[in-house]
């Protein structure tokens, strides 16, 4: 049984400019978002760094950690350091994880997603990942089955020390995923496309997590 409620981890759409900052600020101003992953459109290092500088404060001023990722092989360590992000996120790649861990040391977090197998998950955990993300949309937009994500997150949370993040495709799946004892629940489109706005979605999700924690005390 988890000692505390799972916390929220938001994943943005792919961003190519700073126009998303107000929506990011609205979501994080609730005080309920532990971390946000900025997904950046492929660009040169300077462009990515400037985009992080423009976007990160919208979350960080509310106490939310900011992680960055980008398609391709962008130098995320440099972008995060120069842009002021709190960490980086990569698709499952053991060699790249080792490189980033060595370069960033303990100064910034390194998260890993796109994890195909349990063996891969253990490799990334042993390789120094600060968290593992299970169940996020694939590059083509499709999702793994909810049952498979519940199974993977439950297995990981029960056995391993490294925190895990379980991706919820909708608010209606938050409760089931939180029951896995994953430390974080990730939300993407369910927040950004909510008819009442990002803050309403975050508040609803946080309420689900708090009620679940209270029920299991």
**Residue 111 CB: number of other CB atoms within 10 A?**
24
Domain that holds residue 11: 7-215
Q: Which residues contact 31 (CB under 8 A, 6 or more apart)?
A: 62, 63
pTM: 0.96
Q: Is residue 161 part of a domain?
A: yes
Q: Is residue 1 part of a domain?
A: no
Tens-binned pLDDT, residue by residue, of the chain (217 aa): 345 789 999 999 999 999 999 999 999 999 999 999 999 999 999 999 999 999 999 999 999 999 999 988 889 999 999 999 999 999 999 999 999 999 999 999 999 999 999 999 999 999 999 999 999 999 899 999 999 999 999 999 999 999 999 999 999 999 999 999 999 999 999 999 999 999 999 999 999 999 988 887 7
- CA-based torsion, 157, 163, 167, 173: positive or negative: positive
Q: Determine the Cα–Cα distance for residues 189 and 211; give it in Å rounded to an integer.
A: 23
Q: Is residue 63 part of a domain?
A: yes
Q: Is residue 84 part of a domain?
A: yes
* CATH code of the domain in which 197 resides: 3.20.20.70
Q: Is residue 159 part of a domain?
A: yes
Domain count, the chain: 1
What crossing angle do the helices spanning 76-83 and 94-104 adopt, rounded to 10°?
30
Which two tokens mark 53? 């500088």
Q: Is residue 2 part of a domain?
A: no
Q: What is the CA radius of gyration of the chain?
A: 16
């Amino acid at each position: 049984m988890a000692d505390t409620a799972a916390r929220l981890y938001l994943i943005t759409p792919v961003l190519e400019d700073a126009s998303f900052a107000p929506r990011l600020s609205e979501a994080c101003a609730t005080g309920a978002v532990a971390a946000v992953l900025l997904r950046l459109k492929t660009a040169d290092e300077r462009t990515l760094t400037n985009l992080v500088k423009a976007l990160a404060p919208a979350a960080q001023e509310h106490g939310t950690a900011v992680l960055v990722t980008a398609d391709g092989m962008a130098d995320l360590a440099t972008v995060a350091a120069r842009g002021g992000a709190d960490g980086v996120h990569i698709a499952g790649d053991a060699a790249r994880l080792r490189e980033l861990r060595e370069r960033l040391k303990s100064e910034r977090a390194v998260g890993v997603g796109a994890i195909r197998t349990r063996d891969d998950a253990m490799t990334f955990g042993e390789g120094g990942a600060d968290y593992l993300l299970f169940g996020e949309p694939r590059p083509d937009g499709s999702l793994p089955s909810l049952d498979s994500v519940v199974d993977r997150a439950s297995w990981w949370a029960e056995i391993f020390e490294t925190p895990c993040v379980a991706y919820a495709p909708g608010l209606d799946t938050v409760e089931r995923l939180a029951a896995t004892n994953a430390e974080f629940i990730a939300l993407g489109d369910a927040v950004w496309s909510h008819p009442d706005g990002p803050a309403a979605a975050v508040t609803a999700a946080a309420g689900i997590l708090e009620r679940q924690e209270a029920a299991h005390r």
